[in-house]
Amino acid sequence: MATIVDITEEKALKVKDFEFMYAGADAPSVKKLNMPIAKHSITALIGPSGCGKTTLLRSFNRMHDLYPGNKYSGEILFKERNILNPKEDLIKLRIQIGMIFQKPTAFPMSIFDNVAYGLRLQGLKNKTELQGRVEKALQDAAIWNEVKDRLKHDANGLSGGQQQRLCIARAVAVEPEILLFDEPTSALDPISTAGIEELIVELRERVSIIIVTHNMQQAARVSDYTGFMYLGELVELGRTEEIFVTPKERLTEEYITGKFG
């Protein structure tokens, strides 16, 4: 049984007996997992490759449904409703629960259109309102000053770090309640990484954040809670300083001190 700290804050998500199996696999990648996610805080998921952390993250916005044959069971409660329900409106769900990927994914269009994309999908056509919300999102993502003079330029002309902040702006623009970060800095240099980490911490004011990272220092630097996963199970979830200083599980201690990984 996993050691799970009492979370005093409201919960953004509650994972109950969640189990996930990829199409064609003969064993589940996530096994009977229970986990609360605190609202307006940053939860980091750490663990060795193949431990199921990304699989779990991608279940929160039902990304797995894009590919046929994956099987899952259990419950993930978001606002007291089970988002694993087959009748769940995935379009609405993905607007409320946004995602940032391992590599910057600027769309083949202008900087402005990239940020406006999610808003336009929702049917927002009013030019002044679009302009205002794009500007605000770019400011929130701390990239406004760098791009304000070239909003019409192709987004692929930006550097990797800028593109990743653009992707964050794009995700923030639709005002999600939860943002999922899947190793967001794995393709970036140290300076861009620092910028993204700073940004993630600032975003906590408005959204609940779940970040998967293979970098333990990153988890220690940015997160409030850290969950350690191993072989598809949650081993320990606790306040980040406790996980890194006084972990309760022996497995957690061995992992963070580098005995395996």
Partner 1 sequence: MSNIIDKIFANSTKFIAFGILLLVAWIFTVLFEHSLESIEAFGFNFITEDKWAPNLEKFGALPAIYGSVISTFLAMVLAVPLAIGVAIFLSEIAHAKLKAPVGVSIELLAAIPSVIYGMWGLFYFVPIVRDIFGGIGISMLTAGIVLSIMILPFMAAVTRDAMNTTPDILKESAYALGGTKWDVVKDIIIPYAKAGIIGSFILALGRAIGETMAVTFVMGNVHKISTDLTEPATSIPVTLANEFAEADSGLYYSSLFELSLLLLVISFTIISIAKFYFLRRKRIGQ
Is 123 a residue that touches partner 1 (CB under 8 A)? no
Residues whose CB falls within 8 Å of the CB of residue 109, separated by 6 or more in sequence, listed in order: 117, 154, 155
Class of residue 195 by CB neighbours under 10 A (exposed 0-12, middle 13-18, buried 19+): buried
By CB under 8 A, the residues from 155 to 184 that bind partner 1 are 156, 167, 170-171, 174
In the bound complex, what is the minimum distance in angstroms from residue 27's beta carbon to partner 1? Answer: 21
Burial 201-236 (b: 16+ CB within 10 A, else e): eebbeebbbbbbbeebebbbbbbbbbbbbbebbbbb
Binding span for partner 1 by CB under 8 A among 7-15, 58-66, 130-138, 188-196: 58-66
Is 101 a residue that touches partner 1 (CB under 8 A)? yes
Is 187 a residue that touches partner 1 (CB under 8 A)? no
The correct pick among 28, 47, 52, 118 for binding partner 1 (CB under 8 A) is 118
User: What does the chain come to in residues?
Assistant: 261
d(CA 7, CA 238): 9
In the bound complex, what is the minimum distance in angstroms from residue 128's beta carbon to partner 1? Answer: 22
Residues making contact with partner 1 (CB under 8 A): 61, 63, 66, 68, 91-92, 94-95, 98-99, 101-103, 105, 107-109, 117-118, 121-122, 156, 167, 170-171, 174
